[in-house]
Amino acid sequence: MALVLTDALLTVNSVNFSTFCRKVTGTFQIADLDTTTFGGGGWKSRTGGLLEGTVTLEGLQSFAASNIDATLWPLFIAGVPFTIAIRPTSGGKTTTNPEYTGSALLTAYTPLDAQVGDLDTVTIPMNTSGTWARNTS
């Protein structure tokens, strides 16, 4: 069954960004390590190495207290990881509404991105830092 995201939950450092964001992308990867030896019959063999990921949020900028800019600027300047949580819907964590959570580092910040008459949009690229989890309860 297809899922249409209309009510995703996105929190950055415990601040709910759901009402500002309109796109979320979470990509997790594992390093592809070649373990091929002469005894492999001419076939490559592989194993997984280090895990990493990126989370990118896209939305509408807000400079009000406790909103996007007020949350992100101090995190960017500090240069330290912070907690993120993302879920397909704002409902509770379940097997059909898993929460992906962990720490990330804000790697770039563009507080203003618009031309005359446009909405000020913001793209928030973050690299995972440390362990991430998929929680269903």
Provide the residue ranges of all domains of the chain, joining segments of one domain with +: 9-32+45-135
Query: For all residues of the chain together, what is the average pLDDT?
Result: 96
Pick the CATH number of 9-32+45-135 from 1.10.8, 1.10.3470, 2.40.30, 1.10.10: 2.40.30
| pLDDT value at 64 more than 90 | yes
Q: How far is 105 from 113, CA to CA, in rounded Å? A: 21
Beta carbons of 17 and 11 less than 8 angstroms apart: yes
pTM: 0.90
Reply yes or no on whether the pLDDT at 120 is more than 90: yes
Residue 1 has pLDDT above 80, yes or no: no
pLDDT at 32 over 90: yes
Averaged pLDDT for residues 50-56: 97
State the number of CA atoms in the 13 A half-sphere of 53 facing the CB: 18
Nearest to 58 by CA among 102, 117, 133, 113: 113
Residue 75 has pLDDT above 80, yes or no: yes
